[in-house]
Amino acid sequence: MLEIKNLHVKLEEEDKQILKGVNLTVEAGKVHAIMGPNGSGKSTLSYVLSGRDGYEVTEGEAELDGMDLLEAEPEERAAAGLFLAFQYPVEIPGVGNMTFLRTALNAQRKARGEEEISAGDFLKLVREKAKSLKIDADMLKRAVNVGFSGGEKKRNEILQMALLEPKMCILDETDSGLDVDAMRLVAEGVNALRDEKRSFLVITHYQRLLDHIKPDVVHIMADGRIIETGGPELALEVEKNGYAELLAKHGISE
Ligand code: ADP
Ligand code: MG
Ligand code: MG
C-alpha cells in the first residue's frame, strides 16, 4: 500500500536535514504505529507524504499503491486515497460543517474525474456515516469546528475520514496529546474503519493510544530514521524503559 524508500527530506527555508533515510512499508489492511522522541521527524514524515509546502525531498521515494506520491499534487494524493487526519483542525466561521464536508468529498471526486455528489445524495450519505460512527447529526449543522470541543473536532475528522473512504490513513496525534476521552473517540473511529484493504499509519508520542488501537507493527523513529521495528510489544517496552536505551544502542544522542 505505502512504500517509502530511503527518504531524505530537508527544510526548504534552511539547510536542515530532518529525514535521513526513512524506509517503511505498510501493507494493505494493516495498522502500523510510529513512536519516537519529540523532534525525531514523525510529523515531518506525515507532512511530506501529504504534500505540504516547505519541505524538499533530497533523496528517496514514496509510493501509494504503485503511484509516485512525491511527484503528485496534494489533491492528487487525496484522490489516490491518502488521508492525513488532524492536519487542519481549523475553525472556519461562517462555513457550515455540511458544506465543508461536501466540498472535501467533491474535491476528491473532481480529482478522480467523477461527478459531484448532489446535495440530496450527500445528505443521505453523511447521515448514514454519522449514524454508523454514532456521531450526533446536530454537529453537521454547525460551523466547521467553531466552538467544537477537542473531542468534537476529532469526531469531525473521523467523519471526514469515513466520507472520503481513504486507502491509507495517516493519523498524527501531535505533541499536544489527546485527553483520555478524545483518545477513545479516535480509537473507536479508527477501529470502525479498519478493514482488510485500508491501512493506517498511527503516529503517537505515547503508548496509551495503542492500548485502544492495536497495531500490527510498531516502528520507533529517532533522528530522522526508523531505528527499530517490531510488534506491539515494542511499544510496551518503550513505555516501560523510555527511549534512552534504544537511542544509545543506535548511537543517537538525546
Ligand atoms: P516530531 O513530530 O517527531 O516531534 P517534527 O517532524 O515535528 O518531529 O520535527 C523534526 C525536527 O525538525 C525538529 O527538530 C523540528 O524542530 C524541525 N522542524 C520541523 N519542521 C520545521 C520547520 N518548519 N521549521 C524549523 N524546524 C522544523
Ligand atoms: Mg514535535
Ligand atoms: Mg509531531
- Between 182 and 245, the more confident residue is 245
pLDDT higher than threshold 90 for residue 1 = yes
| Sheet strands (E) in the chain | 2-11, 17-26, 31-35, 55-64, 67-68, 82-85, 92-96, 143-144, 168-172, 199-203, 217-222, 225-230
pLDDT higher than threshold 90 for residue 230 = yes
CA–CA dist 182, 157 (Å, integer): 12
CB-based contacts of 73, cutoff 8 Å, min separation 6: 51
CA–CA dist 219, 45 (Å, integer): 13
Tell me the pLDDT band of 88, cut-offs 50, 70 and 90: low
- In ligand 1, the atom with minimum distance to the C-alpha of 45 is 6
Rg (CA), the chain: 18
**For 128-175, how does the pLDDT look when each residue is reduced to its tens digit (9 = 90+)?**
999 888 888 788 888 877 777 777 888 888 888 999 999 999 998 765
CA 17 to chain centre: 22
ipTM for the predicted complex comes to 0.95
pLDDT at 12: 94
**For 11-25, how does the pLDDT look when each residue is reduced to its tens digit (9 = 90+)?**
999 999 999 999 999
Pairing of strands 82-85, 67-68: unpaired
**For 64-86, how does the pLDDT look when each residue is reduced to its tens digit (9 = 90+)?**
999 999 999 888 898 899 998 86
43 alpha carbon – ligand 3 mean position (Å): 4
14, 35, 43, best to mutate for ligand 1 pocket (most atoms within 8 Å of CB): 43
Ligand 1 environment, Cβ below 6 A: 11, 18, 36, 38-44, 54, 175
